[in-house]
Amino acid sequence: MHPVSIPALDIVVPERVRELARGAALTPVWLNNIGGLTFRTGDGRYIKWGPHDAEANMRDEAERMRWASRWITVPDVLEQGQDSEQEWLVTIALDGRSAADPRWREDPERAVRAVGEGLRMLHDKLPVEECPWEWSIDSRIARAAERGTFVPADLREAPSIDRLVVCHGDACLPNTLLADDGAVAGHVDLAALGTADRWADIAVASMSTIWNLGEGWEDTLIEAYGVEPDRARLEFYRRLWNET
């Protein structure tokens, strides 16, 4: 989805976030490129706030987290809402740090392997037959078209499905949380969760190692997931990600 960065500590706190904090101390955690902000509160919550997003909305995220929580560890949803200009989501904080946290730049191999293992766990545990959403190639292209984005014709010629799973939908490193010992502590940002070929997630997760850690870790993540790299599917699904 949208690239994220760590905001300055003195960033202006939106009024809605102050209301949702109910007096608790606020620490900014993430800033995305459309102005969306995430804060951690002093009483163990996360408040996610931003303008309406044409790619993924917080209502969908809350709905999918509630569904996925029956099988995997995700934040408990406390509150979700929106008005004509903004949306927000309040969750219980999980005990873990993003795999893109500066702490893991000191031990990148452990973080990358944990993300690969965590993605395989997510794929193995979430039941395809019970999932009410899809993240198929056709649905992604259709949603892109609704936003005025049209993809190259050859991306409509999809490779065969290797294994149909419930995909995370944004399996970049920041969206896996790790405990201090490197164990997977949970997954976040599930607004696009839905059924698709597992390579749709593997391609993005492995590609995100470049964004967050630099070159050389893509195949390590794929190995930790437990498969041999499928170069054709990796190329296809990375192009699809970049084009949609």
Half-sphere exposure of 157 (CA within 13 A, CB side): 4
Q: Return the pLDDT at 5.
A: 63
Alpha-helical runs (H) found in the chain: 15-21, 58-68, 102-105, 108-125, 137-146, 198-213, 218-225, 231-243
Q: Is 189 assigned to a binding site?
A: yes
Q: Return the pLDDT at 7.
A: 66
Among 168, 64, 191, smallest CA distance to 116 is for 168
- Find out whether 178 and 147 touch, Cβ atoms under 8 Å: no
Q: What domains does the chain contain, in order, with CATH numbers? A: 4-92 (3.30.200.20), 97-243 (3.90.1200.10)
Chain-centroid distance, C-alpha 82: 21
What 3-state class would DSSP assign to 19? helix
Q: Return the pLDDT at 194.
A: 98
Half-sphere exposure of 60 (CA within 13 A, CB side): 18
Q: Return the pLDDT at 3.
A: 55
- Find out whether 167 and 187 touch, Cβ atoms under 8 Å: no
What's the pTM?
Answer: 0.92
145-176 residue pLDDT tens: 998 998 899 998 889 999 999 999 999 999 99
- What does residue 37 show for φ and ψ, rounded to 5 degrees? -125, 150
203-221 residue pLDDT tens: 999 999 999 999 999 999 9
101: left (phi over 0), alpha (psi -120 to 50) or beta: beta
- Could you tell me whether strands 26-32 and 45-51 are parallel, antiparallel, or unpaired per DSSP bridges? unpaired
Q: Looking at the predicted structure, is the pLDDT value of residue 26 above 70?
A: yes
173 to each of 99, 178, 233, how far by Cα in Å?
5, 10, 20
Q: Is 57 assigned to a binding site?
A: no
Per the DSSP assignment, residues forming a β-bridge with 39 are: 28, 47
What positions carry a catalytic annotation? Answer: 170
